Structure 1
Amino acid sequence: MSGVWGVLCLSWALAPALAHPLSHGGGTRNSTGGSSWHHLGSQPPLNDTELVRRCADEAGFDAVTLDETGTMLFFEGDLVWKGFTGPAVPINASWPEIQGPVDAALRIHRLALPAVHDSVYLFQGKRVWAYAQGQLRPGYPRLIGEEFKGVPGDLDAAVECHPKECPAETVLFFKGATVFSYDLESGLVKQRSWPAVSHCSAAVRWLERYYCFQGIRFLRFNPVTGEVPPSYPRDARDYFMRCPGRGHGHETRSNATLRALMDRCSGRPFHAFSSDDAGRVYAFRVGQYFRVDSVRDGWHSWPLKHTWKDLEGEPNAAFSWEDKLYLIQGPQVTIYRAGQGYSRVEGYPRALEEELGVAGADAAFTCPRSQEAYIIQGDLMRRVDLKQSPRRPGPALHIPHDHVDGALCTATGLYLFHGADFHHYSDVAQLTAATAPAPSQNTAVAFFRCPEAGAGAASQHPPHHG
């Protein structure tokens, strides 16, 4: 591939129902090394020549991947753009062993194998280079066929599929019309024919979604079946670049309310939170949700139906248990199975009274690896043993809050949310023993690493499962 995409201002709103995710922060690197950005805020100046050349380009990228810090890398020719703003730099400035364009790139995320975990692989011709923390790993470059037996050289694209989204930890290699599915555990490779996903010039996994670029156009695909949702492919210049006279849903840029709802740093309250044992943390706000644990890949607002199909309305409370997500909406609850995407359990929604023995909930939570759910209504909290049949709530326990919007329990404690703030308790016992609320802290600062701007101090405990 060839062509220049110049300084990028990405609008990663790739869901069919959503225009632009209007904020990813203030354009600075966070404490973990990942980059953040703000789509509709101030932008670096672009001269007319660069802008015209970038927007006129029909070629696209050679490769796209996240690096070990969560920064998005865009390769084109001899250049690479790191993150969403800033100038392109020569590839060999960061990877001196690589001369010229790369064919494909991917990051392999394997916690069980520390030597391999978060390695960045760059493919060129019949060889592959593997880098850890920016340094070439010993023994590289290697032949692609030696590193990934059965996979040919001269690839077009590559992307890793995580086991929660594929039957096993897999790398998908694209070459022409053929997809090679390589199982990282068994070393077995299978060839697949996905007519809708072929001739990918670049591929990337971002926030549990998979994208194939075909020149200037791109599509989203299911990494197990190869299915592509309606309305794809789309022109990347309407989503990944700011070009004069282009852009999808540009009318939302003047809608201050929608902008605030989709901006993690707006201070608007969230209506529900949920976490699971896999480490996923969700924050729900008026038809949208954020993945709170996605600091490595950037934060992004998504429409609820993008992940929970057939969900009508929005949840006012949520909790997870045994790979199922319970979404409470007024007097009813809907259960979705996690795994390779969320699928609604047959027979739901159903009455909350029948499912949990309560009539409603302001907030709900489960703690890691526990079978107990806690339901909060007003200043009362009740425990429900989820393995009990039928499920019946225990005695009402008083808590030092008249009302909470949401609740979340992780390995670092219990968090109750109200308005723009939250209150942190070490556990349920500390909450029920308290006679006054714990000090308030700002949700945007502590959970989304937003600028303080006069808000309360950030929590000393990152809100993730351990």
Structure 2
Amino acid sequence: MRLLVKSLTLCLVLSQCFTAPSKHKEEHGKNDKEHGHDLHHDAKLDRCAGIEYDAVTANDEGVLYFFKGDHMFKGFHGKAEMSNKTFHELDDHHHLGHIDAAFRMQSDSPDHHHHQFFFLDNKVFSYNKHKLEEGYPKVISEVFPGIPNNLDAAVECPKPECPEDTAVFFKGNNIYHFDMKTKKVDEKEFKSMPNCTAAFRYMGHYYCLHEHQFSKFDPNTAEVHGKYPKMTRDYFMRCSHFGNKSVEDNIKREQCSRVHLDAITSDDDGNIYAFRGHHFLSRTGDQFHSDTIASAFKEVHGEVDSVFSHEGHFYIIKDDQVFVYKVGEPHTHLEGYPKPLKEVLGIEGPVDAAFVCSGHHIVHVIKGQKIYDVDLKATPPAPVKERTITTFKKIDTAMCGPKGVTVVIGNHYYNYQSVMTMLMGRIMPEQHKVSKDLFGCDH
């Protein structure tokens, strides 16, 4: 009899003896195996090897928690630890699977202020200062009516970034805006938005993680602006074998990377400066140099949208601001900058590319398929001509140098003799590789 009781107890604990796993769990298990991770208890997770995270949220101090299986990473460096070390009660519900989604609500309402919500299958857990609130876990429909089970991702959107304190939920192509006060749900389908496996808010910006990459998006419209996707580990992980490489390794990495460029420019002498993520690569003749943007342009703080050179100065465009540096060793940040993009160029952001051809004072600014000519000598500066680019739907960056106009898309570029040739041409010019033909990598 004792043997029978023990056997039945073991079966109930495992919860696999009589019930087949759900399709949702099977799919997650398949994904976990495909990524080569043993996710239970003794898992050896390496954040620098590239991980598709299940959920991301912040604590009360703004430190991000990255969840994978029953493990979590705290902040941008350090090893994985069991999630139940911080959120003890999650260990009592292993049969629910891994965390599907999570967010921390910043709200004026005392009911939700600084509460962390975790979603597992059809359950939601609410924590306040790492303690599970009384009565939880609850079914999702009880706390968030109209929100489906088995979510892909979730993120908070406090006022005034959203009209009201809102939780944004993701499942497949559907996005749900949940008003935390009225509990009204606005459901939309965004096929252009990547299917997020996790989402989070950091320093007022919103990020959707998908596979090993991320895209920055607008929480109200779900539109992605800028040059995305980008690699998650290059921005949100501090990895010794990425950040502390030798100078030669850093140069080789930037030369041979196939990740698209954020910006590129050429000065009057034909020297090239390319910007990607938090790094830049310069080429003077056959000599290459690579460093972080913060080391050479410390006022910029992170990735840039576009860069152009004019009369011995770099104009760096980031969001709706323009930074200007006098070229030298070191580059000198001009007093009074940054200034609004509207004030400097007379146009609104965001900007995809901008370039000036040597000996000219017209900066050509590309936004989508529009190109604007702005006279830098005019006061105040303003677009003097607007035209349409028909050859390309989306340009990552562009520059003008001794060989004419270079248009960069992904890891490829195209050369044109002039801006007019680029606009009037109907036949695509020869395609070249950025890594191989522009930066001399062997592939």
Higher radius of gyration, 1 or 2: 2
Structure with higher helix content: 2
